[in-house]
C-alpha cells in the first residue's frame, strides 16, 4: 500500500453562473500522505469548500486528475465511488448536522446502524467514542441541550466511529467562539495523532493554525503556499 492517500494534478472546477463561468479551482496540484493533518486556509471564496468536496468524493474535477487511496476517481463507477466515500471518509460540517430528535449517543450510533451493526455493538462503539471526545456524561442529551462546542465534539465522534481513513471538516469552527474553535481543532489534531486518521479541515482563520503541521493556503482557486511545520507551535507564513 502506497503512503499517498490522495494526489491531485492540474485539478480544475468551474461553475456556470448565468452568462459567466466561475473558476473556483484553477489548477491544483496537491499530494497528501496517509496520517497527515492538513489545514486548507484562505479567504471566503478562495475555493476551500470546492476543494474539500472533491477530496470527500462528493464532487468531481472538470479537468486534471484525482487519485484517492490508489484509485483514479474519474475511472470509478458511481456505485464504487459512493461505497468508497461511505466506508473511508468521515465528514464534519460547519452546522454540526446532528439529528435533533436523537440523543448525543444515538447520533453517534447512527452511522453504525446504517451499516447494519447490531444495537448493542453500535451502542458500545458509540459510547467509547463519546468518551474519547470527553462527552460520556452527555450521552443522553439532545443536541439542543448541548453547547456549540459540545455538538461539534459529537459530530467528530460520529465521523470517527466508522474508522474512516480520512476525516474532512469544512470550516468546522465557523459557528463557534474562539475558545471552542481552538478546542475543536485541538481535538481533531489529537484524533489524528491517536488514531492515525488523515485529517483535512478548512478555515478562514489563521489563528487556528498554530497546532496544525501543514498549512495549504488557497487564493482565487490556486495554492498560494503549502508549508509543513515539523514542530507544532509554528505560525503560518
Sheet of 214-219, strand order: 89-92, 166-170, 198-203, 37-41, 214-219, 222-228
Rounded Cα–Cα distance for residues 197 and 218 (Å)? 23
Q: Which of residues 48 and 123 has its CB atom nearest to Mg ion in the complex?
A: 48
Q: Are 198 and 5 in contact (CB under 8 A)?
A: yes
Work out whether 17 is an interface residue with ligand ADP (CB under 6 A): yes
Contact pattern from residue 216 through residue 235 relative to ligand ADP, giving x for each residue in contact according to CB under 6 A and a dash for the rest:
--------------------
Taking the CB of residue 25, how many other CB atoms lie within 10 A of it? 25
Work out whether 47 is an interface residue with ligand ADP (CB under 6 A): yes
Q: Which of 10, 35, 45, 64 binds ligand ADP (CB under 6 A)?
A: 45
Which residue has 440523543 as its cell numbers? 103
- In the complex, the smallest distance separating the C-beta of residue 105 from ligand ADP, rounded to whole angstroms, is 32
Among candidate residues 160, 151, 210, 204, the one with its CA nearest the CA of residue 185: 210
Query: Candidates 46-54, 123-131, 143-151, 179-187 — which segment interacts with ligand ADP by CB under 6 A?
Result: 46-54
Rounded Cα–Cα distance for residues 152 and 137 (Å)? 15
Work out whether 48 is an interface residue with ligand ADP (CB under 6 A): yes
Q: Which of residues 49 and 150 has its CB atom nearest to ligand ADP in the complex?
A: 49
Q: Which of residues 12 and 69 has its CB atom nearest to ligand ADP in the complex?
A: 12
Contact pattern from residue 46 through residue 65 relative to Mg ion, giving x for each residue in contact according to CB under 5 A and a dash for the rest:
--xx----------------
Q: Which of 37, 50, 180, 198 binds ligand ADP (CB under 6 A)?
A: 50
Among candidate residues 176, 237, 179, the one with its CA nearest the CA of residue 209: 237
Q: How far is CA 112 from CA 5, 104, 106, 162, 180, in A?
A: 24, 14, 10, 7, 27
Query: Candidates 29-37, 45-53, 158-166, 229-237 — which segment interacts with ligand ADP by CB under 6 A?
Result: 45-53
Positive or negative CA dihedral for 156, 161, 164, 165? positive
Residue 164 contact partner, candidates Mg ion, ligand ADP, none, CB within 5 to 8 A by sort of partner: none
Rounded Cα–Cα distance for residues 52 and 162 (Å)? 19
Residue 45 contact partner, candidates Mg ion, ligand ADP, none, CB within 5 to 8 A by sort of partner: ligand ADP
Show the beta-strand stretches assigned E in 126-213: 166-170, 198-203
Residue 142 contact partner, candidates ligand ADP, Mg ion, none, CB within 5 to 8 A by sort of partner: none
- In the complex, the smallest distance separating the C-beta of residue 112 from ligand ADP, rounded to whole angstroms, is 30
- In the complex, the smallest distance separating the C-beta of residue 56 from Mg ion, rounded to whole angstroms, is 13
> Can you give the binding site for ligand ADP, defined by CB under 6 A?
15, 17, 22, 24, 42, 44-50
Amino acid at each position: 500500500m502506497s503512503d499517498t492517500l490522495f494526489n491531485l494534478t492540474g485539478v480544475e472546477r468551474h461553475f456556470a453562473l448565468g452568462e459567466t463561468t466561475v473558476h473556483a479551482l484553477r489548477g491544483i496540484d496537491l499530494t497528501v500522505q496517509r496520517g497527515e493533518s492538513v489545514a486548507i486556509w484562505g479567504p471566503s471564496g478562495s475555493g476551500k469548500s470546492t476543494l474539500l468536496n472533491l477530496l470527500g468524493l462528493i464532487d468531481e474535477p472538470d479537468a486534471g486528475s484525482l487519485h484517492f487511496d490508489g484509485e483514479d476517481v474519474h475511472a470509478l463507477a458511481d456505485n464504487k465511488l459512493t461505497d468508497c466515500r461511505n466506508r473511508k471518509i468521515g465528514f464534519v460540517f460547519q452546522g454540526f448536522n446532528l439529528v435533533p430528535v436523537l440523543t448525543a449517543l444515538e447520533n453517534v450510533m447512527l452511522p453504525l446502524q446504517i451499516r447494519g451493526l447490531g444495537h448493542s455493538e453500535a451502542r458500545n462503539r458509540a459510547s467509547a467514542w463519546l468518551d474519547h471526545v470527553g462527552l460520556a456524561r452527555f450521552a443522553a442529551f439532545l443536541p439542543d441541550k448541548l453547547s456549540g462546542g459540545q455538538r461539534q465534539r459529537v459530530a467528530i465522534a460520529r465521523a470517527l466511529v466508522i474508522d474512516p481513513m480520512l476525516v474532512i471538516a469544512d470550516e468546522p469552527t465557523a459557528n463557534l467562539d474562539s475558545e471552542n474553535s481552538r478546542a475543536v481543532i485541538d481535538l481533531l489534531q489529537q484524533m489524528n495523532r491517536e488514531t492515525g486518521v488523515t485529517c483535512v479541515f478548512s478555515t478562514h482563520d489563521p489563528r487556528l493554525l498554530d497546532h496544525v503541521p501543514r498549512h495549504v493556503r488557497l487564493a482565487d482557486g490556486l495554492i498560494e503556499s503549502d508549508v509543513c511545520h515539523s514542530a507544532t507551535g509554528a505560525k503560518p507564513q
